[in-house]
Amino acid sequence: MIQASCRYGWFCVLIVAFGAVTFARMYHFGAWTNAGVWAWACISTIFEAYIFGTWLGYSVLETRGHTYDLYLKDSTINDAKLVLMMSHHTIFYKGKSVYVVQTDAVKEIVSSQH
């Protein structure tokens, strides 16, 4: 399962790199002249975001990295994986549940690597 994820990850990187090079070339050569080019650019950006998000989601599910004990103001979540921490929200994953909590509600995050 991890090998399939790695192959998919390389595909994701290639798609995003292709999109970045295409956008840079279009900007450099001034090819932003008609609606078809804009439509193609928007559709390819949405597709690339979907591919990247899917790859990131699967990589979080398959990773064997650290787990954390999350102490909130009113509860505790044990052995959860940290997905993303931003200024306003923190996202954890445990089992088949995804927890999105406000960052100011988090009192402490402790590594629980066993």
Low-confidence ranges of the chain (pLDDT < 70): 1-12, 31-33, 113-114
Determine the pLDDT at residue 4.
40
- CA angle 82/84/87 to nearest 5° reads 125
Determine the pLDDT at residue 11.
67
Whole-angstrom CA distances from 89 to 61, 68, 101, 104, 110 are 20, 16, 6, 8, 17
Determine the pLDDT at residue 103.
86
Determine the pLDDT at residue 57.
75
Determine the pLDDT at residue 5.
43
